[in-house]
């Protein structure tokens, strides 16, 4: 696994610890100033003028001095070969950038491509029935031909079943954690977590070391589960709980949400039935429904060069990128940003869109070229 310990990492970690500066404000600061180091080295008056920052947050940034915590965090990442993914890192999960509150910094232990073409989050109750177990097994089995990344939360129940069945079928699977990578919760899943990493999947979290699985961390974690995928699949869920929170977040992010229906008298399926009834999830009966609704059954045959439509409608940002790559042949991500003048988030969103349309593709060395 590649690590990415830049000179800016100390400041990136420190930025996540500044009081009153959350993910939304951090993103605004990065888009204006380009790097975490530049934020801390900027004048207070310059920070105040940035939209959403103001005098109070500017003062909080300038008065932050506890860089020892950040230094300790860097030491932990180095010791355990954990990859930091800052919001403007090319390997940051790009789908999250389409959310209004993407994590400023993520910590990743694994090898799975977090920007692979097909990603689904499979979630459900911790206390599943035999029906839920069978649904999870058949779903993962039928999705295994699609080369999909399976995401879940490493919790008891459906989450663990999703991870285990992905491993059985040779699919990479990533667990999103509500705590730091210095521990695994629940502890009964330590061997499962190790197997996921060893098999080419991974563990992803927004939380640094020494941050335990506090109850307030789980809704925060759930937004990553909802935001980093193409679709959320709810297997079984009561009317309340983490799965319903994740489904609501996914709806807010304009993600596709699918749910398996259950008996009207079954409390374990009450949440799924409610989502379907309220048009917050599409009713599905099998994996083929998902493949069809997401258009994955129309994917080009492997090794067949996809044809770009003459009538494809590109945004101004997308056109600027394709024109540049067309002129130069193959361009590193840093040069694309420099020459187009796009913000980190706008660049990431445009790159993802072009990849999904099979117009550009990534190459080794953080390079991009036309398909």
- Tens-place pLDDT, residues 1-29: 445 566 799 999 999 999 999 999 999 99
Residues 196, 255 within the same domain: yes
Asked if residue 329 and residue 182 are part of one domain, the reply reads no
Question: Same domain, yes or no, for 322 and 271?
Answer: no
Same domain for 183 and 287, yes or no, is yes
Task: Write the pLDDT tens digit of every residue in 203-214.
Answer: 999 999 989 999
CA distance 164 to 158: 10
Say whether pLDDT at 125 is over 90. yes
Q: Mean per-residue pLDDT for 177-196? A: 96
How confident is residue 175, by pLDDT bands cut at 50, 70 and 90?
Answer: very high
Are 27 and 153 part of one and the same domain? no
% the chain with pLDDT above 70:
93
CB contact burial 250-289 (16+ within 10 A = b; e otherwise): bbebebbbbbbbbeeeeebbbbbbbbbeeebbeebeebee
Top pLDDT among 352 and 191 is at 191
> What span, in angstroms and rounded, lies between the C-alpha atoms of 114 and 94?
8
Work out the average pLDDT over 337-362: 84
- Look at residue 301 and tell me whether its pLDDT is greater than 50: no
pLDDT (0 to 100) of residue 5: 66
Is residue 52 domain-shared with residue 163, that is, in the same domain?
no
**Is residue 332, in this structure, part of any structural domain at all?**
yes
Confidence band for 330, pLDDT divided at 50, 70 and 90: confident
My answer on whether omega of the bond before 186 falls inside 30° of 0, hence cis, is: yes
Q: Domain count for the chain, please give it.
A: 3
* 109 inside domain: no
Domain assignment present for residue 106? The answer is no
- The mean pLDDT of 130-141, rounded to a whole number, is 96
Q: What is the mean pLDDT of the chain?
A: 90
Distance of CA 91 to the CA centre of its chain: 11
Determine the pLDDT at residue 312: 61
What's the domain range around 359?
316-370
Rounded Cα distance between 347 and 338, Å, is 10
More reliable by pLDDT, 208 or 332: 208
Q: Are residues 164 and 245 in the same domain?
A: yes
Residue 146 maps to a domain: yes
* Residue 2 domain flag: no
- 202 and 124 in a common domain: yes
Looking at residue 350, its pLDDT comes to: 87
In this prediction, residue 364 has a pLDDT band, given cuts at 50, 70 and 90, of low
The yes-or-no verdict on residue 311 having pLDDT over 60 is no
| Local confidence band at 246 (pLDDT 50, 70, 90 cut-offs) | very high
Residue 162 lies in a domain: yes
Instruction: Kindly report the CATH number assigned to the domain that includes residue 61.
Output: 1.10.150.20
Do 69 and 26 share a structural domain?
A: yes
Q: Which two tokens stand for residue 25?
A: 């404000």
Looking at residue 309, what is its pLDDT? 47
pLDDT digits (tens, 9 = 90+) for 84-124: 999 999 899 999 998 989 999 999 999 999 999 999 999 99
User: Are residues 241 and 203 part of one domain?
Assistant: yes
The confidence score (pLDDT) of residue 190 equals 96
In sequence order, the 6+-apart residues with CB closer than 8 A to the CB of 160 are: 152, 154, 189, 192
Q: Out of 67-71, 185-189, 300-304, which region has the weakest mean confidence (pLDDT)?
A: 300-304
Report residue 365's pLDDT band, with 50, 70 and 90 as the boundaries: low
Choose among 239, 288, 242: nearest CA to 266: 239
Residue ending a domain, choose from 53, 80, 107: 80
Across 353-370, average pLDDT: 78
39 neighbors 47 (Cβ within 8 angstroms): yes
**Do 63 and 176 fall within a single domain?**
no
Q: pLDDT band at residue 181, thresholds of 50, 70 and 90?
A: very high
Q: Which among 252, 267, 298 is the end of a domain? A: 298
Assess if residue 90 is contained within a domain: no
Taking each helix axis as running N to C, give the angle between helix 23-33 and helix 344-356, from 0 to 180 degrees, rounded to the nearest 10.
100
> What pLDDT shows up at residue 14?
95
- Percentage of the chain surpassing pLDDT 90? 69
Alpha helices in the chain (DSSP H): 9-15, 23-33, 36-41, 44-48, 54-63, 67-80, 130-143, 158-168, 190-198, 217-227, 242-252, 270-277, 287-293, 316-328, 333-340, 344-356
Inside any domain, residue 111: no
Sign of CA dihedral 346, 104, 196, 293: negative
156 vs 51, higher pLDDT: 156
């Amino acid at each position: 696994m590649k690590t990415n310990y830049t000179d800016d990492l100390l400041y990136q970690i420190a930025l996540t610890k500044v009081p009153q500066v959350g993910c939304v404000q951090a993103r605004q600061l990065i888009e204006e100033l380009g790097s975490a180091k530049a934020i801390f080295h900027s004048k207070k008056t310059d920070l105040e003028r940035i939209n959403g920052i103001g005098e109070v947050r500017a003062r909080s940034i300038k008065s932050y001095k506890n860089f020892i915590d950040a230094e300790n965090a860097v030491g932990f990442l180095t010791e355990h070969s954990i990859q930091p993914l800052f919001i403007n890192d090319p390997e940051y999960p790009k789908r999250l950038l389409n959310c209004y509150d993407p994590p400023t910094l993520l910590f990743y232990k694994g090898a799975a491509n977090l920007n692979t073409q097909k990603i689904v989050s499979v979630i459900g109750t911790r206390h599943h029935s035999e029906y839920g177990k069978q649904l999870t097994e058949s779903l993962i089995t039928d999705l295994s031909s699609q080369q999909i990344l399976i995401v879940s939360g490493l919790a008891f129940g459906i989450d663990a079943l999703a991870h285990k069945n992905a491993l059985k079928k040779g699919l990479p699977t990533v667990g999103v954690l509500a705590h730091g990578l210095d521990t695994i919760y629940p502890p009964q899943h330590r061997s499962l977590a190790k197997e996921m990493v060893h098999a080419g999947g991974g563990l992803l979290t927004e939380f640094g070391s020494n941050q335990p699985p506090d109850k307030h961390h789980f809704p925060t974690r759930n937004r990553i589960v909802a935001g980093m995928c193409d679709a959320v699949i709810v297997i079984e869920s009561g009317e309340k709980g983490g799965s319903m929170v994740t489904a609501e977040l996914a709806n807010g992010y304009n993600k596709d949400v699918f749910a398996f229906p259950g008996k009207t008298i079954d409390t374990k399926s009450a949440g799924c039935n409610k989502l379907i009834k309220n048009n917050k999830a599409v009713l599905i009966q099998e994996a083929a429904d998902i493949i069809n609704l997401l258009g994955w059954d129309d994917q080009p045959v492997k090794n067949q060069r996809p044809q770009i439509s003459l009538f494809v409608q590109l945004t101004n940002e997308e056109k600027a990128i394709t024109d540049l790559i067309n002129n130069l042949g193959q361009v590193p991500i840093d040069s694309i940003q420099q020459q187009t003048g796009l913000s980190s988030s706008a660049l990431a969103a445009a790159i993802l869109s072009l990849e999904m349309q099979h117009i550009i593709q990534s190459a080794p060395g953080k390079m991009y070229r036309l398909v």
